[in-house]
Amino acid sequence: MADDFRCGTATIVGRPNVGKSTLLNRLVGQKVSITASKPQTTRHRIGGVLSRGDAQIVFVDTPGIHRDRRSAMSRYLNRTARGAVDGVDVVIFMVEALRWTDEDDDVRRELREGRKPVLLVPNKIDRVPGRAALLPYLERFRGEDEFDEIIPISARRNESLGALVDQVRARLPVAPAMFPPDALTDRSERFLAGELVREKLTRKLDQELPYRLAVEIERFRRKKRVLHVSAVVWVERPSQKGIVIGKGGRVLKAAGAEARANMESLFGSRVHLEIWVKARAGWSNDERVLRSLGHDG
């Protein structure tokens, strides 16, 4: 191990849908945080571990900080996102290139209260028609003391991620690794299984139901080289069960097949997956129920 080996944590923060989970997965080289083009897809603090010869960095994905505070779920997501900044070494403030919204301002104000190094990371530069258009956007932030560095990237295209990692490493303390070199995440396989089921259903259901379902893993056991997973999908009303299941069970079967394939790739074993759908009234607006489903931020 190098004499100047560094280890620490870098939290990725920003408003919803700027690409935080995509960035985490690209940095780690494996899907550890689920993605979908909908707010509230990421509900938990998830750490992805990047190990290399001179450093180990734990990149922490967070829910998007947003203005909707009406439901218990919304309040939980904001608490989780804000709490993930405490005790970290570096903050990656992710925005969308050429865009700046009121929610970006909200995140910026939150970060001003801390004393952590902040890297401003405009994402999705691959969508900018002509890179010269980036210059005026970037110039508005040049010279501002609150940002230690500005690093435009494309998480989807893997562009400039090496530069981002180098900038993060330079701000970490000299310390031994926290995880084994082959670790990918600080979350359990059981947790990842539930997230994969939720991701596939969120994508299949589009605008119909994504914020009103949760997934609970009731069984997660290896037997004779096969991983047996039993999942319960919770919705809020009995009428929503039919939406999740789909005509002739097509939605649930398709989501289950995709989730199982992802699990087999991630866990390196055959997977037998069973999914049930049940109704639990008002779960997304009940702090006690949220805690029982693992939303403990």
Tell me, what CATH number does 55's domain have?
3.40.50.300
Q: What is the pLDDT of residue 297?
A: 47
Does residue 65 share a domain with residue 155? Answer: yes
**Section 111-132 average pLDDT:** 88
Indicate whether 47 belongs to any domain: yes
Q: Which residues make Cβ contacts (< 8 Å) with residue 273, sequence separation at least 6?
A: 197, 229, 230, 231, 256, 259, 260, 263
The closest of 244, 277, 262, 256 to 192, measured between CA atoms, is 262
Give pTM, 2 decimals: 0.80
Q: How many domains does the chain have?
A: 2
How far from the centroid of its chain's Cα atoms is residue 237's Cα?
27
Domain span at 283? 189-292
Amino acid symbol at 204: K
CA separation for the pair 168, 99 (Å, rounded)? 24
Same domain, 165 and 220: no
- Helix, strand and coil content of the chain, in percent to the nearest 5, comes to 35, 25, 40
Query: Is residue 40 predicted with pLDDT exceeding 70?
Result: no
Indicate the pairing of strand 90-96 with strand 6-13: parallel
Query: What pLDDT, on the 0 to 100 scale, is given for residue 145?
Result: 74
Q: Judge whether residue 208 has pLDDT over 70.
A: no
Arithmetic mean of pLDDT, 73-86: 58
| Share of residues in the chain with pLDDT > 90 (%) | 51
- State the Cα–Cα distance between residues 23 and 59, nearest whole angstrom: 9
- Rounded CA-CA distance 222/236 in Å is 31
Mean pLDDT of the chain: 85
Task: Identify whether 196 is part of a domain.
Answer: yes
Decide if 153 is inside a domain.
yes
Same domain? 10 vs 131: yes
| 205 found inside a domain | yes
Same domain, 77 and 15: yes
82, 222, 256, 262, 295 from 230: Cα distances, Å: 32, 12, 11, 15, 19
Q: Higher-confidence residue: 115 or 47?
A: 47
Q: For the chain, what percent of residues have pLDDT higher than 70?
A: 81
Instruction: Mark which of 169, 204, 233 sits at the end of a domain.
Output: 169
Residue 296's alpha-carbon distances to 45, 68, 85, 121, in angstroms, are 10, 19, 16, 29
Segment among 27-31, 35-39, 152-156 with least mean pLDDT: 35-39
- Residue 191, burial from CB neighbour count under 10 angstroms (0-12, 13-18, 19+): middle
